[in-house]
Amino acid sequence: MKLNLNSFLYSVSVALDAVEKELLNTTNNHSKKVAYISLLLGEEFNLNNKEKFDLCAYSIMHDCGIVQSFAQSNFNDNFEQAEGFTSHCLAGEKNIEHFPFFEKKENIILYHHETYNGKGYFGKKGDEIPLMSQIIFLADCIDTQFSLVDITLDTKYEVDEFVKSNVEVLFSPKLVEAFLNISDRDIFWYNLELLEMDFLLNEILPTFIIDISYEQMLKISMVFSNIIDSKSQFTANHTYELMGKAKILADFYNFTEDKSYKIQIAANLHDLGKLGTPNDILEKPGKLTKNELFIIKKHASLTHRILSSIEGMEEISKIASAHHERLDGKGYPFGLDAKDLNFEQKILASLDIYQALVEDRPYRKSMSHNNAIKILNRLVIDNGLEEEIVESIDKVFS
């Protein structure tokens, strides 16, 4: 498949920013603002286009381990504590293992909170810290410690003073010099106020379209399935189990290898939009109110918004974002009916219900296979699911 790496990165940042905003109370477009500042700093260090793309990717995904960090800790919404929890650096470094960087560099994410004087989480100092890690750290500090909305001249002075006062403490002299160079350009500050950051990033980066196998794309998608599953203790294995069942059913129907990979990738990404759903709703032990139900149903449309804008993933997007559609047209987010849905969409929708039923949820314990099939059969009678697919699920997973 041909994958537009730029649109993939920018789209994924929507999901990562949504979960960071909930857990850490970060700003809108946090990852893209970090990427924008980092790219301008990268130009000061004469990085070539491929190096700048890699820097942009590391910047956007710098906190991709934060969900796992929260899941492993007792932290709730305290930014300082969460950022001080070294596991988010470790998890983030592991998460990016299969991302298609042009030149994979070690420990960029791992060391993105190291300070120049060696008092960071891992005790690295000076040139022991990779340049890209240093750049991301400075950009991250600026966006998290200062309000970059309605920027005034006082904002610029405050940021400049913060950076200068931390030379050889948090930041290297060369990095401070580079930042002050870009800070002297008024357009830098005006651009940071913009809501649409994709335009700015595309001004700096050329478009990179790569040939990538579906097998490679599956590995990349597993990065995000791990993040999704970590969002709530009650979905700890949902996406992983759904992907496995999608492969088994694809084999049962003798799908081609590429077709099998597509439905597995869609399974991995189907709940990407849930990164924007508040945990107090995901983990509510009782029945959801009408308003809470309205909010949780947004996740399917957010999945569609994220995936549909990625050039090269159009088919996968259609499968993933239709996992709550029903044959009678009473599903969501689009209200598609039987004539609008292809076989893969119908399979994933049926498997998603089955997987949810056989795992623990905050409002009930897991069901047996037989009880889950009884519910699926009722949905068949009500013209929600396709009978052939439910029969296959019963036969394969009994």
Distance CA 226, CA 175 (A): 34
Average pLDDT over residues 348-372: 91
Distance CA 166, CA 161 (A): 9
pLDDT in tens, 224-260: 887 887 777 666 688 999 999 999 999 999 999 999 9
Q: Which residues contact 204 (CB under 8 A, 6 or more apart)?
A: 36, 39, 40, 43, 52
Number of domains in the chain: 2
Assess whether 264 and 353 both reside in one domain. yes
> Which amino acid is residue 88, in one-letter code?
H
Assess whether 92 and 201 both reside in one domain. yes
Assess whether 69 and 167 both reside in one domain. yes
Q: Which residues contact 48 (CB under 8 A, 6 or more apart)?
A: none
pLDDT of residue 64: 86
Assess whether 222 and 344 both reside in one domain. yes
Assess whether 100 and 131 both reside in one domain. yes
As beta bridge partners, residue 167 has 171
Assess whether 386 and 314 both reside in one domain. yes
Assess whether 204 and 56 both reside in one domain. yes
pLDDT averaged over the chain? 90
pLDDT of residue 329: 97
Q: Copy the structure tokens of residue 331.
A: 């599903």
Q: Which residue, of 209, 230, 254, is where some domain finishes? A: 209
Question: What is the three-state SS of 157-170?
Answer: HHHHHHHHHCECCC
Assess whether 168 and 30 both reside in one domain. yes
Is the backbone peptide bond immediately before 130 cis, with ω within 30 degrees of 0? no
Residue 245 domain boundaries: 213-397
Distance CA 288, CA 354 (A): 20
Q: Which residue, of 151, 177, 209, is where some domain finishes? A: 209
Q: Which residue, of 192, 209, 226, is where some domain finishes? A: 209
pLDDT of 361 over the 90 cut: no
Write the CATH number for 127. Answer: 1.10.3210.10
pLDDT in tens, 76-131: 445 445 455 688 899 889 888 888 899 989 999 999 999 999 999 999 999 999 99
pLDDT in tens, 120-169: 999 999 999 999 999 999 999 999 999 888 899 999 999 999 999 999 99
Distance CA 366, CA 123 (A): 45
Cβ proximity of 316 and 224 under 8 Å:
no
Distance CA 69, CA 83 (A): 9
What's the pTM value of the predicted model, to 2 decimals?
Answer: 0.88
Cβ proximity of 227 and 68 under 8 Å:
yes
